[in-house]
Amino acid sequence: MKTFYDLPIQRKMLLMTMLICGTVLCVAIAALFTFQVLNFRANFQRDTATLAAIIAKNSTAIVTFGDTNSAGEMVQSLKAKPTVAFACLVTGTNVLAQYGELSEAPALAQFPRAGEFLYFNGHLLYTQPVESDNKEVGTLYLQSDYQATLRALLGLYALVILGVMLVSALLAVLLSSRLQRVITAPVLQLAETARVVGEKKDYSVRAPVNGRRDELGRLTESFNEMLGRIQSQDVALNLSQQKMEAMIHSLDGIVWECAADSFQFTFVSRQSERLLGYTAEEWLANPNFWAEKLHPEDAAKAIQTCHEMVARRKPYSYDYRMVAADGRTVWIRESGVVLIEHGDAAAVRGIFQDISEQRESAVKLERLNHKLVETSRQAGMAEVATGVLHNVGNVLNSVSVSATLVGDRLRQSKVPNLCRAANLLREQNSQLAAFLTNDPKGKLLPEYFAVVAAQLADEQAKLIAEMNSVGQHIEHIKEIVAMQQSYAKVSGAFENLSPVELVEDALRMNAAAFERHRVQVVRELDQPVPLVCVDRHKVLQILINIIRNAKYAMDAQQPEHKQLVVRVELATSGRVKLSIRDNGIGIAPDHLVKIFNHGFTTKKDGHGFGLHSGANAAKEMGGSLVAESNGLGQGASFMLELPVAGANNKEPGAAA
- Residue 275: pLDDT band (50, 70, 90) is confident
- Residue 565: pLDDT band (50, 70, 90) is very high
Distance between CA atoms of residues 188 and 183, nearest Å: 9
- Report how far Cα 130 is from the mean position of its chain's Cα atoms: 81
Is the pLDDT higher at 631 or at 516? 631
Residue 331 per-residue DSSP state: E
Is the pLDDT at 581 greater than 90? The verdict is yes
Segment 534-550 mean pLDDT: 87
Is the pLDDT at 353 greater than 60? The verdict is yes
Is the pLDDT at 377 greater than 90? The verdict is no
DSSP-assigned beta bridge partners for residue 523: 566
Tell me what pLDDT residue 346 has.
85
Which of 413-427, 519-533, 592-606 bottoms out in mean pLDDT, i.e. has the lowest? 413-427
Segment 261-286 mean pLDDT: 88
Tell me what pLDDT residue 188 has.
72
DSSP letter string, 374-434: HHHHHHT-HHHHHHHHHHHHHHHHHHHHHHHHHHHHHHT-SHHHHHHHHHHHHHTGGGHHH
Is the pLDDT at 396 greater than 90? The verdict is no
Distance between CA atoms of residues 639 and 546, nearest Å: 10
Tell me what pLDDT residue 656 has.
30
- Measuring CA to CA, which residue among 76, 136, 70, 41 is closest to residue 127? 136
Is the pLDDT higher at 120 or at 472? 120
Tell me what pLDDT residue 376 has.
45
Which of 261-265, 344-348, 441-445, 505-509 bottoms out in mean pLDDT, i.e. has the lowest? 441-445
Angle between helices 9-58 and 181-200 (to 10 degrees): 150
8 A C-beta contact, residue 257 and residue 265: yes
Residues comprising the chain, all counted? 656
Tell me what pLDDT residue 653 has.
40
Is the pLDDT at 572 greater than 80? The verdict is no
- Global confidence as pTM: 0.33
Which range of 193-197, 236-240, 265-269 scores highest in mean pLDDT? It is 265-269
DSSP-assigned beta bridge partners for residue 316: 336
Distance between CA atoms of residues 587 and 557, nearest Å: 11
Segment 527-539 mean pLDDT: 88
Tell me what pLDDT residue 654 has.
39
CA distances in angstroms from 631 to 205, 247, 414, 586, 588, listed in the order given: 81, 60, 46, 6, 5
Tell me what pLDDT residue 523 has.
92
Is the pLDDT at 436 greater than 80? The verdict is no
Tell me what pLDDT residue 322 has.
93
> What integer best gives the mean pLDDT of the chain?
78
Segment 449-478 mean pLDDT: 69
Distance between CA atoms of residues 356 and 360, nearest Å: 6
Tell me what pLDDT residue 234 has.
65
Distance between CA atoms of residues 475 and 491, nearest Å: 25
Phi, psi values for residue 292, rounded to 5°? -75, -25
Segment 590-595 mean pLDDT: 85
Is the pLDDT at 590 greater than 80? The verdict is yes
The burial class, CB within 10 Å (0-12 / 13-18 / 19+), for 121 is exposed
- Residue 655: pLDDT band (50, 70, 90) is very low
Is the pLDDT at 21 greater than 70? The verdict is yes
- Residue 44: pLDDT band (50, 70, 90) is confident
Phi, psi values for residue 417, rounded to 5°? -65, -35
Tell me what pLDDT residue 638 has.
93
Phi, psi values for residue 93, rounded to 5°? -110, 5
Provide the terminal-to-terminal Cα distance of the chain, rounded to the nearest Å. Answer: 87
Give the start-end residues of each E strand in 261-390: 265-268, 316-323, 329-341, 344-354
Segment 383-388 mean pLDDT: 49
Tell me what pLDDT residue 379 has.
44
Tell me what pLDDT residue 362 has.
82
The burial class, CB within 10 Å (0-12 / 13-18 / 19+), for 64 is middle
Q: Report helix, strand or coil for 646.
A: coil
User: CB atoms < 10 A from the CB of 590, how many?
Assistant: 7
Tell me what pLDDT residue 238 has.
61
Segment 519-542 mean pLDDT: 88
Which of 108-122, 345-359, 619-633 bottoms out in mean pLDDT, i.e. has the lowest? 108-122
Task: Please list, in sequence order, all residues whose beta carbon lies within 8 angstroms of the beta carbon of residue 572, skipping any fewer than 6 positions away.
Answer: none
Task: Please list, in sequence order, all residues whose beta carbon lies within 8 angstroms of the beta carbon of residue 581, skipping any fewer than 6 positions away.
Answer: 564, 565, 566, 567, 635, 636, 637, 638
- Residue 384: pLDDT band (50, 70, 90) is very low
CA distances in angstroms from 173 to 7, 165, 614, listed in the order given: 17, 12, 93
Is the pLDDT higher at 368 or at 288? 288
Distance between CA atoms of residues 327 and 345, nearest Å: 34
Exposed e or buried b for every residue in 575-588, given b needs 16+ CB within 10 A? bbbbbbbbbbbbbe
Segment 491-517 mean pLDDT: 82
The burial class, CB within 10 Å (0-12 / 13-18 / 19+), for 638 is buried
Is the pLDDT higher at 656 or at 596? 596
